[in-house]
Amino acid sequence: MAPRGYDAAMIFAYAQLVPGTAARIRRELSTFLDGAAGRAALLVVCAELLQSASRGDHPELTPKLRVLVDECTQAVR
C-alpha cells in the first residue's frame, strides 16, 4: 500500500532533471500532487529515492529531491 498520489509523485520526482517535463507533469497530475496527500506522497517518494541515491542509484537527483522536500515541508509551515 502506498499513499494516494504515490505513482504521480514518483513520475514527478524522476522528471526533476528535465524542468519542462516536470512542469507539465505537475500541471497534468495536480489532482494527485496538490494538497496534503500529494505532499505526503512526494515526501515518501523523496525519502525512498534519497535512500536509493545514497547507494549510488541516480545520485544526480539528490539536489533536486532535497529542493522538493524543502518545498513540501515549507508548504505546511
Instruction: Return the half-sphere exposure (C-beta side, CA atoms, 13 A cut-off) of residue 22.
Output: 14
Given this model, what pLDDT does residue 77 score?
Answer: 63
Residue ranges per domain, the chain? 6-75
Note the pLDDT of residue 3: 86
Given pLDDT bands bounded at 50, 70 and 90, which one contains residue 14?
A: very high
pLDDT per residue as tens digits for the range 18-77: 999 999 999 999 999 999 999 999 999 999 999 999 999 999 999 999 999 999 999 666
H helices present in 1-77, as ranges: 6-14, 19-28, 30-33, 35-54, 62-75
